[in-house]
Chains A and B, each alone.
Chain A
């Protein structure tokens, strides 16, 4: 049971993020929602990397236990970097949208439709 607790946290985080994305009207809050989903996914990757009763992948004189590959940590780092880039891009776009539309309400940022 206690093993699965982190996955529960991941699920709750991602669902919270999706809730924010779908039900909040403010563009900034939608970006926050995306960011929360991102954190959930990063946590998910990190949690995957943990194996009970295992050792670091150093072969010299290692006991014959399962080893933990550091792949997921590398993945998470990459994913965080990508996340920062998207976050910055989206926030700057919202700034420009606000400058011209004078609003960040998602239901009013609809000049392109039909």
Chain B
């Protein structure tokens, strides 16, 4: 039964079943914790509203971190690499053709030389 879940790669094996079991156990633990929570919880009186030390809650639009602000450090660290790669993606059709024909030429040379 268990073997039917195993992927043998020839050099190792991997069994998805253990991951599924781990997921199920994690779910059950989470569910148990949830069960112990407060049953009678009145959400109508603003008890779910954020409380920021008495400061008024900012507008929803202000709270959400937009995609443009994510991975700032990553982009900054790799800016040298992106300065090199981005200029190739000009969106100019002539460059697309040029890249295609250049690759054709290079592959031709490689395949002929290393025949």
Contacts and interface: CB of A to CB of B under 8 A. Distances in A.
Chains A and B directly touch (beta carbon < 8 Å) = yes
Interface of A: 18, 21-23, 25, 27, 30, 106-107, 109-114
Interface of A, helix, strand, loop or mixed by DSSP: loop
Interface of B: 86, 89-94, 97-98, 101
A30 B98 CA distance: 13
Contacts of A27: 93
Contacts, number: 31
12 contacts: A21-B94, A22-B94, A22-B101, A25-B94, A27-B93, A106-B92, A106-B93, A110-B91, A110-B92, A113-B90, A113-B91, A114-B89
B7 to A, nearest CB: 39
A21 B97 CA distance: 8
A23 B91 CA distance: 16
Going nearest first, the 3 A-B pairs with the smallest beta carbon separation are A113-B91, A110-B91, A106-B93
Contacts of B94: 21-23, 25, 30, 106-107
